[in-house]
Structure 1
Amino acid sequence: MRRRTPLLVLLILLIIWPVLTAAHIIPPTPPAPPPRLILGVEQISATAWALLVGCSSPPHDLRVWAEEAPPQLPQTITALAPGRWRAQFDGALPSSAIVYGCGQRAALVVASTTTPLWLNSLFGLGMVAAALLGVRLIRRPHRVVTRPTLSPTTPVWQAHITDEQGDRILTLPTGMLTAGSDPACHMIVLGSDIALRHAHLMLTEEQAHIVDLASPSGIFCGPVRRRLRPHTPTLVGDEDIWLGATVRLRLVKI
């Protein structure tokens, strides 16, 4: 019996030790989500408005894209509090726009807070007419209505790409697109040093900008391969763009 005692103690320790170890392991703290980019909007006058943004550093890369308009840069950036900034823009306040800054992208939708009295009355009459029409349609036999298919946005840019897949040409629409090796990206490029989300392409009817998403291998442009600053939109010209050291990209307007 005495010879079996050390073996029993060792067996008990082997069973209890993983349980005690797991009980003392502190689970890792999940990373905090990035702060909200757009904190508010102010209409200063008919020719000026301001955007309140949240960013840990001065948002010098702040850009605003309204419909059918080139990117707009802030005229002044004022610090309100730690992590809070007020960027003033010229022109009328857009009803909707895309905001890029501090490495984030957000949609700006401005809703009217005041409604004229006549518009409220018109809305009430419309609701009554809709209710009467709905009752009439319920009593009538159902008829299937075929709606025309909406045509997709016409592409206005061509991307000439050279990567591990060879040379190819892609047509791109306007808007903000993501380029990288992730299959979920709008433009998939493959290379040994290409990040999952390597860059953002900001395409309008007239201009194209590219943003390095702090990729390890970087983005270069020009014959001397000048490296672009991360999280800073850069206007794309006729020169070649290099994603990392192996992928070549050129944007051509159709």
Structure 2
Amino acid sequence: MGQEEQQLALSVRGLSFAFPGHPLLFDKLDFDIRQGEFVSILAASGIGKTTLFRMMAGLLAPQAGSIVIGAQASSTAEASKQGKIGYMPQKDCLMPWRTVLDNAALGLELGGTSKREARRRVMELLPGLGLEGTENKYPHELSGGMRQRVSFLRSLLGGGELLLLDEPFSALDAMTRVGMQEWLLQVWELHRKTILFITHDVDEALLLSDRVLVAAESPITTLSELRVSLPRPRSYEAALDHSFIDLKRQLIGQLGRTVGSHAGGRI
């Protein structure tokens, strides 16, 4: 048991939350994420996935329960201050007046790293993320996929133990999205960061994840789990395999239980 506790990257216990005047989004929710896992949360739009991430990032406070990041942090607010969380929202949120180099270095600088050292660390990682030669470009000069790579790099450098990725590819066209999914798989294999990924795309969840957690009702009281036993490393060709199709059938069955149970919660 002690060893299992040491391996936890995230522990959620008894989490409850509702916006004023709205129904409960979460009611005594428990779940854990282990170090080095890639876990996706899959649910219908409006059920509260982004709200959950905002609580994990310390931007909202739970009304009851606890969210503990890592073994040393007692709260998400403390974890955020310690640089244990990297949060990548749906939009890249790059600053248009800053270059790729300065945008990617921002999290490090805010954490107290000198500008010179922050830039050095960014330059080391640019080639491995397919961003070599872009350091002096501005966001308007980049494609949507390239902007998301810069945003991911900023989150990677700014968050130490846990990366929260909130539907980062949802605004991309289909071809770019597939390319970004395969790119993320390669980067995760290299760095093995703990990633919690929000999506409403079944194929994306299965392709990327070790486990998929499904919210089958609102308010969310429990997350049903599907373990993804597909071998790694993976590419998009895995989606053509019979085992992938079998997992997809199971996942759609679990997700189908949300029909009729969604209570109009707010994202």
- TM class, shorter-chain normalised? under 0.3
**Relative contact order, higher structure (CA 8 A, sep 6+):** 2
TM-score, normalising length: structure 1: 0.26
State which structure, 1 or 2, has the greater radius of gyration over its C-alpha atoms.
1
Alignment TM-score, normalising by the size of structure 2: 0.25
Structure with bigger helix share is 2
More strand per residue: 1
